Amino acid sequence: MIGKRGALKYGLNNNRRLELRITVEFETKPNANTNIMQPQNIDFQNVSGNLIQETKKFMVSLENNAEDVIEVLRSIWELSSLYDGYFYKPCKYNVDGIDVNVEKLYFLSFYDCKTESGKRRSRQRF
């Protein structure tokens, strides 16, 4: 179960909420039309959804248990940046049809990092 603090991280207002439907859109480096993958359906760890890649966007839509959805999103985001060699920056985050500030995603451990001086900065600035 997601606690109140975790619910706020996901952009949720109700800490009793277990089901989650999200859509995250990432800015990507431009892809040639021949390099774009076909839309993919996801059925992994009890989470269902799809991936759609366009010329300058990569969209992930997932739904099911909130904690599982966030874990699957984390895996997709990390693998896509490792595979493509480019760190995808989120530009849109939607929870159950309501737009949420993309900074709510910055709690993901591979997105936030610290400089040698201990100050936080996001990897998108590297």
| Tens of pLDDT, residues 93-105 | 888 888 888 888 7
Domain-located, residue 48:
yes
Do β-strands 89-95 and 98-100 pair in parallel, antiparallel, or remain unpaired?
antiparallel
Domain-located, residue 97:
yes
Residue ranges making up the domain that contains 36: 19-103
**What percent of the chain lies above the pLDDT cut of 90?**
9
| Tens of pLDDT, residues 38-61 | 888 999 988 999 988 887 888 899
Domain-located, residue 2:
no
Instruction: Classify burial at 59, counting beta carbons within 10 Å of its beta carbon; exposed 0-12, middle 13-18, buried 19 or more.
Output: middle
Domain CATH code at residue 53: 3.30.310
| Total structural domains within the chain | 1
Domain-located, residue 4:
no
